[in-house]
């Protein structure tokens, strides 16, 4: 066990007068061994601190180097670990000492991924995932943890700009730890009373930000945005065809749903799962900015009715996956109300702008007219994965769609006759439910709405700064349009702004992205009319120096790739 910090004392369970750590029951001596779980946890937490803090600090260190266009990389070797006292300067905000720069990078500058991690076939032997018969104890546990940290992508580094999420934060780590300590299932009230009320209060507050403020507005946590979207489709189907819950879809006619041509694939997956089928999903054309065209939605709904089909649901998107576009919700809501369709807003990515009055004003105009909204705080807000919600205008509709009599589990009996659900699994497909709402609640408590707003406004400002740098670069062709809608910036690297064939553009993009990994950057790419283009995602921790360094790295790496033609 690592030495304790000065003045700290190890935890020792209290000893009873009879010398046992377990008190006697009815005067009888106990033969069961004493429980020392708290002491064991205390020791392991100390050991893991010496692994985890350097891993996080490596990301902080990398931020100081990124504006050069390089850095020590995102993968961090933790062969020895470091005592917490060695990292104290990080919390005090003092300058990075030279000897720490040398020690924190361990074996020197490392690639974004450890060489074995670049391929599953080489990673497997490096991890050596054995499953022993005999206990390995603390030594084996720490060795396994070191291996996982060494061969994982470190999202704490600002060079991770690949996905619609990034690092969590300090409050996120401790909130996950608290959930693990509680280790309860948020399915029925009596085993998770505080967490049940917390989830209900958190979803009501979150729904209120979106303008869903009726007496029965609220929501439930879901294991990701895809699950939230799927649950919204099920609730809409049940409202339109309540008999389908018992009888199936035989008497419902040919059901069809509508989503943006740039919408998330989870809606088509849900249609396949729920018997609507992929052909029952109609892609609504988008404008040049990637936004659903409301007139086209109206046209497609009319054509479906003329063909004898049954439209019942529209999925609009607040922040599409590639371009970050926000569909015009006000106009789409008008179509849905006129046609009697359920309006769901997939705000899994872009929904958190609701915390900022400045950012939400035009992006979410009309969202209060939706029947349901999906929002995923583990993306923009940095809440630990996973944390996602389905918010609804009326929880009674969701309850009617999901409730089943399971007397061995649900004992929810309101005494005053008012609608109330305190056994939350009666609102969701999942019976096993981690209380993920706690993670947003603690983050919201720590940062406040204004703190989250400031983080988001900083991120959007940085994304616009990256856009402006690229717009002025002589070797970049932008795909994203001004004003930039969200935190993604999409573009081609093209010397002299002269695009080649789609095949050549794709080759440059893919090979440049791979080359960036060795420089400590990870960015993604997506298909387009002119071949694959870069998609870079800025987050709340990204600084201006970081995006300047990224542009340098892309220009240098791209030139090398073009030169290898």
Q: Tens of pLDDT along 154-190?
A: 899 999 999 999 999 999 999 999 999 999 999 999 9
Q: What is the mean pLDDT of residues 23-42?
A: 78
The answer for residues whose C-beta is within 8 angstroms of residue 334's C-beta and 6 or more apart is 294
Q: Where are the alpha helices (DSSP H) in 66-110?
A: 88-92, 98-104
Q: Could you give the C-alpha distances from 305 to 10, 277, 309, 395, 549, in angstroms and in order?
A: 72, 18, 5, 29, 54
Mean predicted lDDT score pLDDT of the chain: 88
Share of the chain above pLDDT 70, in %: 85
Q: Where are the alpha helices (DSSP H) in 216-265?
A: 225-240, 244-247
At residue 416, the pLDDT reads 65
- Measured in residues, the chain has a length of 565
Tokens of 4: 């304790």
At residue 2, the pLDDT reads 41
Q: Among 89-98, 201-210, 358-367, 393-402, whose mean pLDDT is lowest?
A: 89-98
Phi-psi region of 382 (alpha: psi -120 to 50; beta: other; left: phi over 0): left
Q: What CA–CA distance (Å, rounded) separates 335 from 24?
A: 72
Q: What CA–CA distance (Å, rounded) separates 477 from 492?
A: 5
Tokens of 38: 């708290």
Yes or no: say if 118 and 75 are a contact pair by the CB < 8 Å rule: no
CATH code at 185-434: 3.40.640.10
Output phi, psi for 424, to 5 deg: -70, -20
| Secondary structure, 3-state, 139-197 | HHHHHHHHHHHHCCCCCCCCCEECCCCCCCCHHHHHHHHHHHHHCCCCCCHHHCHHHHH
Q: How confident is the model at residue 62 (pLDDT cuts 50, 70, 90)?
A: confident
At residue 271, the pLDDT reads 92
Q: Could you give the C-alpha distances from 480 to 186, 314, 492, 538, in angstroms and in order?
A: 42, 25, 10, 14
Give tens-digit pLDDT for 188-222: 999 999 999 999 999 999 999 999 999 999 999 99
Give tens-digit pLDDT for 442-454: 999 999 999 999 9
Yes or no: say if 381 and 352 are a contact pair by the CB < 8 Å rule: yes
Helix or strand or coil: residue 96? coil
Q: Could you give the C-alpha distances from 454 to 355, 375, 460, 542, in angstroms and in order?
A: 9, 19, 10, 13
At residue 414, the pLDDT reads 59
Share of the chain above pLDDT 90, in %: 73
Q: Kindly report the number of other CB atoms within 10 A of residue 92's CB atom.
A: 7
At residue 523, the pLDDT reads 97
At residue 83, the pLDDT reads 42
At residue 369, the pLDDT reads 98
Greatest mean pLDDT range, 54-68, 75-89, 228-242, 401-415: 228-242
At residue 539, the pLDDT reads 96
Beta pairing class for 388-392 and 218-222: antiparallel
Name the more confident of 191 and 89: 191
At residue 493, the pLDDT reads 98
Q: What is the mean pLDDT of residues 408-431?
A: 81
Yes or no: say if 459 and 540 are a contact pair by the CB < 8 Å rule: yes
DSSP states of 10-42 as a string? ---PPPPTTS-SS--BTTBPP-SPPP-HHHHHH
Name the more confident of 143 and 406: 143
pLDDT at 483 over 90: yes
The answer for residues whose C-beta is within 8 angstroms of residue 422's C-beta and 6 or more apart is 189, 196, 197, 200, 412
Q: What is the mean pLDDT of residues 79-106?
A: 40
Place of tokens 């799927």: 230
Output phi, psi for 57, to 5 deg: -60, -30
Place of tokens 């809501």: 333
Q: How confident is the model at residue 494 (pLDDT cuts 50, 70, 90)?
A: very high
At residue 93, the pLDDT reads 36
Tokens of 540: 């709340």
Give tens-digit pLDDT for 377-400: 999 999 999 999 999 999 999 999
Yes or no: say if 287 and 327 are a contact pair by the CB < 8 Å rule: no
At residue 85, the pLDDT reads 41
pTM (2 d.p.):
0.89
447: part of which helix (H) or strand (E)? Answer: helix 437-471
510: part of which helix (H) or strand (E)? Answer: helix 502-518
Greatest mean pLDDT range, 93-97, 303-307, 422-426: 303-307
At residue 82, the pLDDT reads 43
The answer for residues whose C-beta is within 8 angstroms of residue 492's C-beta and 6 or more apart is 476, 477, 479, 499, 505, 508, 509, 530, 531, 533, 534
At residue 71, the pLDDT reads 64
pLDDT at 104 over 80: no
pLDDT at 258 over 80: yes
pLDDT at 103 over 50: no
pLDDT at 90 over 50: no
Name the more confident of 104 and 63: 63
Output phi, psi for 404, to 5 deg: -140, 140
Q: How confident is the model at residue 89 (pLDDT cuts 50, 70, 90)?
A: very low
398: part of which helix (H) or strand (E)? Answer: helix 395-402
At residue 28, the pLDDT reads 57
**Architecture of the 450-562 domain:** Alpha-Beta Complex (3.90)
Q: How confident is the model at residue 107 (pLDDT cuts 50, 70, 90)?
A: very low
pLDDT at 27 over 70: no
Exposed/middle/buried for residue 432 (C-beta within 10 Å: 0-12, 13-18, 19+): exposed
Name the more confident of 151 and 25: 151
At residue 102, the pLDDT reads 43
Selection from 284, 282, 283, 280 nearest residue 249 by Cα: 280
Instruction: Look up residue 119 and give its DSSP letter.
Output: S
Q: What CA–CA distance (Å, rounded) separates 499 from 360?
A: 35
pLDDT at 315 over 70: yes
Selection from 330, 263, 324, 334 nearest residue 289 by Cα: 324
Greatest mean pLDDT range, 1-5, 514-518, 549-553: 549-553
């Amino acid at each position: 066990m690592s030495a304790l910090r000065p003045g700290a004392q190890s935890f020792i369970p209290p000893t009873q007068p009879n010398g046992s750590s377990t008190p006697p029951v009815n005067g009888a001596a106990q033969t069961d061994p004493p429980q020392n779980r708290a002491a064991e946890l205390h020791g392991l937490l100390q050991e893991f601190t010496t692994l985890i803090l350097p891993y996080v600090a490596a990301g902080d260190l990398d931020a100081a180097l990124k504006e050069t266009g390089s850095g020590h990389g995102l993968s961090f070797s933790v062969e020895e670990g470091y005592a917490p006292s060695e990292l104290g300067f990080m919390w005090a905000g003092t300058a990075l000492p030279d000897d720490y720069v040398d020690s924190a990078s361990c074996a020197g500058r490392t690639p974004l991924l450890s060489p074995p991690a670049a391929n599953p076939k080489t990673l497997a032997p490096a991890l050596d995932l054995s499953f022993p018969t005999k206990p390995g104890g603390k030594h084996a546990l720490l060795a396994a943890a070191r291996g996982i940290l060494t061969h994982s992508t470190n999202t704490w580094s600002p060079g991770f700009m690949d996905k619609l999420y990034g690092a969590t934060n300090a409050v996120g780590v401790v909130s996950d730890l608290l959930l693990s300590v509680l280790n309860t299932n948020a399915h029925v009230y009596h085993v998770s009373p505080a967490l049940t009320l917390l989830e209900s209060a958190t979803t009501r507050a979150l729904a209120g930000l979106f303008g869903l403020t009726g007496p029965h507005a609220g929501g439930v946590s879901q294991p990701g945005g895809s699950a939230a979207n799927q649950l919204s489709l099920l609730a809409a189907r049940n409202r339109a065809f309540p008999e389908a819950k018992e009888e199936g879809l035989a008497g419902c006619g040919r059901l069809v749903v509508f989503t943006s041509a740039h919408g998330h694939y989870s809606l088509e997956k849900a249609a396949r799962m729920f018997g609507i089928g992929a052909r029952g999903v109609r892609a609504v054309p988008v404008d040049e900015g990637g936004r659903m065209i409301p007139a086209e939605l109206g046209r497609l709904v009319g054509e479906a009715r003329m063909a004898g089909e049954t439209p019942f649901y529209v999925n609009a998107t607040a922040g599409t996956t590639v371009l970050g576009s926000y569909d015009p919700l006000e106009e789409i809501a008008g179509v849905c109300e006129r046609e009697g369709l359920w309006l769901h807003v997939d705000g899994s990515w872009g929904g958190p702008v609701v915390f900022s009055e400045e950012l939400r004003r035009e992006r979410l105009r009309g969202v209060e007219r939706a029947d349901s909204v999906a929002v995923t705080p583990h993306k923009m807000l940095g809440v630990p994965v996973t944390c996602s919600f389905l918010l609804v205008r009326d929880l009674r509709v969701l309850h009617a769609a999901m409730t089943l009599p399971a007397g061995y589990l649900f004992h929810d009996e309101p005494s005053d006759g008012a609608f109330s659900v305190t056994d939350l699994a009666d609102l969701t497909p999942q019976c096993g439910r981690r209380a993920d709402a706690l993670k947003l609640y603690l983050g919201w408590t720590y940062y406040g709405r204004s703190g989250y707003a400031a983080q988001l406004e900083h991120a959007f400002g940085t994304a616009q700064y990256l856009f402006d740098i690229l717009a002025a670069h002589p070797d970049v062709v932008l795909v994203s349009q001004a004003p930039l809608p969200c935190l993604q910036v999409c573009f081609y690297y093209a010397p002299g702004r002269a695009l080649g064939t789609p095949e050549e553009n794709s080759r440059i993009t893919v090979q440049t992205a791979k080359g960036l990994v060795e420089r400590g950057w990870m960015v993604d790419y997506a298909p387009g009319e002119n071949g694959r283009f870069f998609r870079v995602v800025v987050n709340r921790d990204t600084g201006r120096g970081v995006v300047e360094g990224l542009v340098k790295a892309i220009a240098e790496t791209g030139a090398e790739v073009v030169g290898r033609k």
